[in-house]
Amino acid sequence: MTISDAFLTHNYARQPVEFVRGEGARLWDAEGNEYLDLQTGLAVNSVGHCHPAVVAAIREQAGRLIHVGNLFYTDPMVRLAERLATVSALGDGTRVFFTNSGTEAVEAALKCARKRRRAGKIISVHRGFHGRTYGALSATPQESKQAPFAPLVPGFEAVEPTAEAITAAVDSGTAALILEPVQGESGVYALDADTLRAARAACDAHGAALIFDEIQCGLGRTGDLWAWQHAGVQPDAVTVAKALSGGLPVGALVAGPEMADVFAAGDHGSTFAGGPVQCAAGLAVLDIVTDEALLARVRASGERLTARLAELPAVREVRGRGYMQAIELEGIDAMALVGRALKEQRLVLNATSPTTVRLLPPLVITEEELDDAVTRLAELIS
């Protein structure tokens, strides 16, 4: 067993488990115990652990070319950019900037919006989460995450995630409004369609960029390829990361026609970003998560999941849709429950607050596995 904090910083509350292998919705620890994974490395392993197509794409590409950098072209990079631009359907002229993580995709979006409207303010909404680097953190209005690291980047403003507050805040001095159509890290809060429509209208009225952060809720997680499809509201740019490369570090700013031509040579960059291995993996993942039959299954099975969760004792609210859901507990400590789930039921979950458990099953989980997971959860709660 290799469980030691001796040389690791203390910024994570790690569970005392060492995982050694994964396949689909299952994980195995060093002692050979089998687990059901409803946490998926925080919405990363959407196509399950070690999906054969992803493993094959990585193996093949790693044996051919691993890195050349961004002063050249590689086939996987060019093809993944085209595929992302196409499936995002943001319009002709859409372009992609690759990064190595979600927070960097957000940084790129913010820099792009600021260059488009010089010195413009960036508006984000309460309960939003956009990452840990300074720009993204400045757009993440959560006291516990921001306060220790002040002063933050100037020119950011946070408003309530309501149509009225957004309409009042966006003006001709606004560079961008950034929000998650379904807020993930704060505990799965879907913004209603009216709020998203008001965001679109306010940005249109004042020429501000509307950026949707779909790093967690995108790529099929809610049962639609993009969470915005639910409200029928399109952004000017979208940030993606997490699930895109099946577990390899990756991110992307997909910039629609309004933002696609803002960056000029030398404006922004990243050494590793868009590397052939992560892009080859990304192409394999997109083939899987854009499958309409898979998405329909996630929608239908997500509805059944909501219904089953709502019947559990001590659950007073179920939020979210598809395979991005959270339960609000009464009289049970969510953090303790997650620890017990791991030890007693071999079920991998995540708590986003002392009362909230988040469920992020892989999109490829079978109906039997998902039923089994809810049964294990019911066992724990009763």
Q: How many CB atoms lie within 10 A of CB 149?
A: 11
Site map 20..49 versus ligand PLP, x via CB under 6 A: ------------------------------
Nearest approach in angstroms of CB 295 to ligand PLP is 20
Nearest approach in angstroms of CB 128 to ligand PLP is 8
Q: Which amino acid is at 378?
A: A
Asked if 359 and 366 touch (Cβ cutoff 8 Å), the reply is: no
For ligand PLP, which stretch binds (CB under 6 A), given 97-105, 160-168, 345-353, 359-367?
Answer: 97-105
For ligand PLP, which stretch binds (CB under 6 A), given 95-103, 113-121, 319-327, 343-351?
Answer: 95-103
Binding to ligand PLP by residue 185, rule CB under 6 A?
yes
Choose the catalytic residue: 37, 213, 224, 236: 213
Residue 111 falls in the annotated catalytic set: no
Give Cβ neighbours of residue 245 (< 8 Å, ≥ 6 apart).
54, 278, 279, 281, 282, 285
Reply yes or no: is the peptide bond before residue 151 cis, omega within 30 of 0: yes
Choose the catalytic residue: 98, 129, 156, 263: 129
Binding to ligand PLP by residue 179, rule CB under 6 A?
no
With DSSP H G I counted as helix, E B as strand and the rest as coil, what are the percentages for the chain, rounded to 5?
40, 20, 40
Residue 263 falls in the annotated catalytic set: no
Closest CA to 218 of 228, 208, 210, 209: 228
Asked if 309 and 327 touch (Cβ cutoff 8 Å), the reply is: yes
Name residues contacting ligand PLP, limited to 240-279 (CB under 6 A).
241-242
Residue 302 CA to residue 338 CA, distance in Å, equals: 21
- Here the tokens at position 150 are 């002040």
Closest CA to 215 of 247, 183, 255, 176: 183
Residue 92 falls in the annotated catalytic set: no
Binding to ligand PLP by residue 107, rule CB under 6 A?
no
Choose the catalytic residue: 156, 212, 242, 263: 242
Decide whether 211 or 284 has the Cβ nearer to ligand PLP. 211
Site map 207..226 versus ligand PLP, x via CB under 6 A: ------x-xx----------
Note the residues at the interface with ligand PLP (CB under 6 A): 101-103, 106, 129-131, 180, 184-185, 213, 215-216, 241-242
> Where in the sequence numbering do the catalytic residues fall?
129, 213, 242
